[in-house]
A = this chain, B = another copy of it.
Amino acid sequence: METLTVALGDRFYPIHVGQALIGRSELLLPFLRRPKAAIVTNSTVAPLYLLRLADALQRAGVDVAEIVLPDGEQFKDWRTLNSIFDVLLERHCERSTTLIALGGGVVGDITGFAAACFQRGMPFIQVPTTLLAQVDSSVGGKTAINHPLGKNMIGAFHQPKLVLADTDTLDTLPERELRAGLAEVIKYGLIRDLPFLEWLEGNLDRLLAREPTALAEAVCRSCRNKSEVVVADERETGERALLNLGHTFGHAIETGVGYGGWLHGEAIAAGTMMAAALSRQLGWIDADDLVRIERLFRRAGLPVYGPMLGVDRYLELMQNDKKVEGGKLRLVLLQQVGRAAVTDAAPLAEICRAIADRCAHA
């Protein structure tokens, strides 16, 4: 087991990464204010890991409530959030009860937001079970639900007390989700960590073969990047925005296609290619860089073209993104491979061209 820390002053918290962690209640107990917890998971993860986690806690004397949500991004909404509150109140959970998110990004985001709001804030723990959640969404305290007009529109910053990333859970992850998770892993290399990008280029096949040591290294190096950025800029007033490389395009893809179409990581891969193409058009990176990035995404089995929504529809959806400021699109682009920057200076015509060029001509 390796342990990183997110050094946010008095909200300092550890990230444990390793194998067979879910059954180790001694890792969780120090972070429960009282011996009472509610585990939130979904109908896919519950049969795999809920018993192991709940049983470990119960044997340690913890009163455990279990909340099983339907599985899918389309349930990351107010209705599902309310169903969590219903159970918390029926089970007389309090501000001192700890909420535990067991699952992927959707479970983590909605559980974290529930913890942020319930009685104006209760402690929570992330136990991410997908690659995407382990390398990105479980770290950093961004929590949210979706609104029909935009992803993650309603949410809060609420840091977990602990992140427990058990890499064994990646064994049961569907192939497509593993590949989607790699999009965010590759992102860290692109925006701020060239040595990591080079490591990924050399070890991608080991990751796709799910070699435990390779997966653990990818998770650790990703979490280290994420935690450094979050510590430097918790509320995303500066550097943290760089983590959104490809996300303004990607969110437009996700919302435009509708739930059940593209996975988040798939949309981010295609969105990152749009951002990279735009960076190339502006002369920030060169043609070889663009090829290099595209090759890595392709090897990971990720889409490198977006769906044909029409450029106008892309722009309309992008206008609803949280990165809009004063009506201006603020985009994350690549200054070079391994270094990103935020800009609102990209001409609209160039943005349109990048979108048009990187849409699949089906």
A176-225, CB < 8 A from B: none
B92 touches A327 (CB 8 A): yes
Residues of B within 8 A of A34 (CB): 326
In the assembled complex, 23 residue pairs joining A and B whose CB atoms fall closer than 8 Å, in A order, are A34-B326, A78-B78, A82-B147, A85-B147, A85-B153, A85-B154, A86-B147, A89-B147, A90-B149, A92-B324, A94-B324, A94-B326, A96-B325, A117-B117, A117-B154, A118-B153, A119-B153, A120-B142, A120-B156, A120-B322, A121-B156, A121-B157, A121-B235
Say how far A63's CB is from chain B's closest CB, in angstroms: 10
Q: Is A270 interfacial (CB-CB < 8 Å)? A: no
Q: Provided the pairs A78-B82, A96-B326, A147-B89 are in contact, do residues A154 and B118 lie with their beta carbons within 8 angstroms?
A: yes
Interface centre among A95, A117, A157 (most CB of B within 10 A): A117
Say how far A192's CB is from chain B's closest CB, in angstroms: 22
Copies of this protein in the assembly total 2
Taking Cβ atoms with an 8 Å cutoff, the residues of A that contact B are 34, 78, 82, 85-86, 89-90, 92, 94-96, 116-121, 142, 144, 147, 149-150, 153-157, 235, 319-320, 322, 324-327
Q: A34-B326, A92-B320 are in contact. List 12 more A-B contacts (CB 8 A).
A: A78-B78, A89-B149, A89-B320, A90-B149, A92-B324, A94-B326, A116-B156, A117-B154, A118-B153, A119-B153, A121-B157, A156-B156
Residues of B within 8 A of A319 (CB): 92
User: With the chains together, A320 CA to B92 CA distance in Å?
Assistant: 7
Say how far A312's CB is from chain B's closest CB, in angstroms: 16
Residues of B within 8 A of A82 (CB): 78, 147
Could you say which of B120, B142, B322 contacts A95, with CB atoms under 8 Å apart? B322
Say how far A191's CB is from chain B's closest CB, in angstroms: 21
User: With the chains together, A116 CA to B147 CA distance in Å?
Assistant: 15
User: With the chains together, A356 CA to B144 CA distance in Å?
Assistant: 44
Residues of B within 8 A of A118 (CB): 153-154
Interface centre among A149, A150, A154, A324 (most CB of B within 10 A): A154
Listed from nearest, the 4 A-B pairs whose CB atoms lie closest are: A89-B149, A119-B322, A120-B155, A117-B154
Residues of B within 8 A of A121 (CB): 156-157, 235
User: With the chains together, A40 CA to B326 CA distance in Å?
Assistant: 21
A150 touches B325 (CB 8 A): no
User: With the chains together, A90 CA to B94 CA distance in Å?
Assistant: 36
Residues of B within 8 A of A119 (CB): 153, 155, 322
User: With the chains together, A60 CA to B361 CA distance in Å?
Assistant: 49
Residues of B within 8 A of A144 (CB): 120
Residues of B within 8 A of A142 (CB): 120
User: With the chains together, A147 CA to B319 CA distance in Å?
Assistant: 33
Could you say which of B92, B120, B150, B154 contacts A157, with CB atoms under 8 Å apart? B120
Say how far A38's CB is from chain B's closest CB, in angstroms: 15
Say how far A35's CB is from chain B's closest CB, in angstroms: 9
